[in-house]
Amino acid sequence: MNHKNKYCVELIALIWMSATIRMLQSLHPLDHHVFGHGTIGKKWALLVSGSYGYENYRHQADVCHAYQILKRGGLKDENIIVFMYDDIANHPENPRPGVLINHPNGSDVYHGVPKDYIGNEGNASNFYAVLSGNKSAVKGGSGKVLESGPNDTIFIYYTDHGAPGIIGMQDGGTLNAKDLIDALKKKHAAKSYKKMVIYLEACESGSMFEGLLPNDINVYAITASNATEDSWGFYCDDTIPPSPPEYSTTCLGDVFSISWMEDSDKNDMTKETLKQQYENVHRRTLISRKRDERSHVMQYGDLKISNDFLVTYIGANPTIINEHDYVLYPTSVNHNFNSPTPTRLVSQRDTRLIYLKTKLEKASNSEDKLKAQKELEVEIAHRKEVDNNVHQISNILFGEKRGSTLMVHVRSSGQPLVDDWDCLKKFIKTYESHCGTLSIYGRKYSRAFANMCNAGISEKQMVTATSQICKENK
């Protein structure tokens, strides 16, 4: 074969290969992926915003932004399940009715988002039914569940308030770390997925997986903080950059959440791995001027999964794949993830307090000022009452000196929050039955209750101490 003929054959082969690749892309759209031996699997996603109330604007904005990323990445609505209370977009205090933004200069992320489980439909029972794929156990909502199979991937993103060993749900209930891990193990045993990735934004979010998530069930989890730290609100009135003036009472996003999503907005997800995103987000969350306002993004489970490309789980913008040219999505702006601007942050646990203080400052008439003042006083009084109750209960059980130490004791790295999770549930229930339901603020004492369990306190001792203190303080 002469050189001219050889060149023609190579050119024909190149054209044939290019046409074949284009055909395969059309056969396997971005809501599918291919694992070994050409097996085609679907991409599934479960998005959860576990809060309600205008002070928690950021959680629903986070989830809506995540939906837009997945939708743009090629996932179909039938494979994306959304939990959110849906009380923010048309809330009386929302300055842009029907619109949610996740960045000061951002466009609407609310449009088109499925309303699968709204209001009190977003509860622990429905969450576990959806996760397990059990349609018959779902009550209310769209009825959509994760009907995933052995070749499918699942991406779970959760954002809300948390506390040691628990995260909140939109009906006011909670998910327990041990129950969550048990549900994941059952899902794995049922061969209902190939690989799963979980992104979790909440205070003490690392405690949901620390010492609990195995590395052999094909689950990789990234959390906004370790087992002891708060997570932080961002794009608030006094952060850099701040929220627009009309949003001064609330925050538009959370640091961890906006970091992974803006990283996804600006990068080619067919070329960026989960590990690279973890590293980028880890750097950006350390942006506070104050050390005690920082959280350390953590990773748990099967770390080998972190070598997978993002496209495997959340898809990718088709313009990146087909044109190799990425235009920044308008919900965000370009950020320097390697050297972000230092700023102050807002603890998720304190956002309600700041919301009420800001409402008082911004009140335009005496009636609004009086109402805001009363709400603020109630919140402050509630916090003082919970602090006092738990400290006194601890003092009765352990004595004043030992009680103060055990209240905040943190177990060594790699250990779960508590050995007996049923004990923790009982102690929280005991407290609530005598002293009232634990608020988002009060749930931070779940570590104190866990330490009581770890110290061998009996249920009878806990009932006696709790009933005594809360009866005296009424």
Per-residue pLDDT tens for 178-195?
999 999 999 999 999 999
Q: How many residues does the chain have?
A: 474
pLDDT tops 70 at residue 229 = yes
Q: State phi, psi for 166 to the nearest 5 degrees.
A: -145, 150
Residue among 445, 411, 407 at smallest CA distance from 210: 411
For residues 190 and 255, give the distance between their C-alpha atoms in angstroms, rounded to a whole number: 35
Range scoring the smallest mean pLDDT among 140-149, 170-179, 363-372: 363-372
For residues 175 and 177, give the distance between their C-alpha atoms in angstroms, rounded to a whole number: 7
User: Which residue is associated with the tokens 């104050």?
Assistant: 290
For residues 27 and 298, give the distance between their C-alpha atoms in angstroms, rounded to a whole number: 37
- The residue annotated as part of the active site, out of 32, 103, 203, 470, is 203
For residues 290 and 298, give the distance between their C-alpha atoms in angstroms, rounded to a whole number: 20
Q: Is 236 a catalytic residue?
A: no
Beta strands in 118-228 (DSSP E): 153-159, 162-163, 166-168, 174-176, 195-201, 219-223
Residue among 205, 217, 218 at smallest CA distance from 157: 205
Range scoring the smallest mean pLDDT among 265-274, 288-297, 386-395: 288-297
390 CA to centre of own chain? 28
Q: Give 23's pLDDT tier (boundaries 50, 70, 90).
A: very low
- As a whole number, mean pLDDT of residues 300-322 equals 86
pLDDT tops 50 at residue 332 = no
What pLDDT is attached to residue 45?
Answer: 98
Joined together, the tokens standing for residue 61 give 């904005």
Beta strands in 32-165 (DSSP E): 32-34, 40-49, 80-83, 153-159, 162-163
The answer to whether 192 and 150 are in contact (CB under 8 A) is yes
pLDDT tops 80 at residue 266 = yes
Could you read off the pLDDT of 204-227 as tens digits, one per residue?
999 999 999 999 999 999 999 999
pLDDT tops 90 at residue 352 = yes
For residues 348 and 188, give the distance between their C-alpha atoms in angstroms, rounded to a whole number: 32
The answer to whether 199 and 149 are in contact (CB under 8 A) is no
Question: Coil, helix or strand for 67?
Answer: helix
Could you read off the pLDDT of 412-427 as tens digits, one per residue?
999 999 999 999 999 9
pLDDT tops 60 at residue 8 = no
pLDDT tops 90 at residue 277 = yes
The answer to whether 162 and 210 are in contact (CB under 8 A) is no
pTM of the predicted protein model: 0.90
For residues 404 and 402, give the distance between their C-alpha atoms in angstroms, rounded to a whole number: 6
pLDDT tops 60 at residue 355 = yes
- The residue annotated as part of the active site, out of 32, 161, 282, 335, is 161
User: Is residue 22 classed exposed, middle or buried when 0-12, 13-18 and 19+ CB atoms within 10 A define those classes?
Assistant: exposed
Beta strands in 189-239 (DSSP E): 195-201, 219-223, 232-234
pLDDT tops 50 at residue 245 = yes
Joined together, the tokens standing for residue 57 give 């604007």
| Residues pairing with 45 in the sheet | 80, 155
Instruction: Give 312 or 238, the one with higher predicted confidence.
Output: 312
Range scoring the smallest mean pLDDT among 10-14, 90-94, 242-246, 295-299: 10-14
Half-sphere exposure of residue 150, counting CA atoms within 13 Å on the CB side?
5
Give the ranges where 153-245 is alpha helix by DSSP (H): 177-189
Instruction: Give 346 or 458, the one with higher predicted confidence.
Output: 458
Q: Is 161 a catalytic residue?
A: yes
What pLDDT is attached to residue 238?
Answer: 87
What pLDDT is attached to residue 129?
Answer: 98
- As a whole number, mean pLDDT of residues 462-468 equals 97
Q: Give 19's pLDDT tier (boundaries 50, 70, 90).
A: very low
pLDDT tops 60 at residue 328 = no
- As a whole number, mean pLDDT of residues 141-168 equals 98
Angle at 257 between CA 256 and CA 261, to 5 degrees: 120
What pLDDT is attached to residue 35?
Answer: 53
Q: Give 38's pLDDT tier (boundaries 50, 70, 90).
A: low
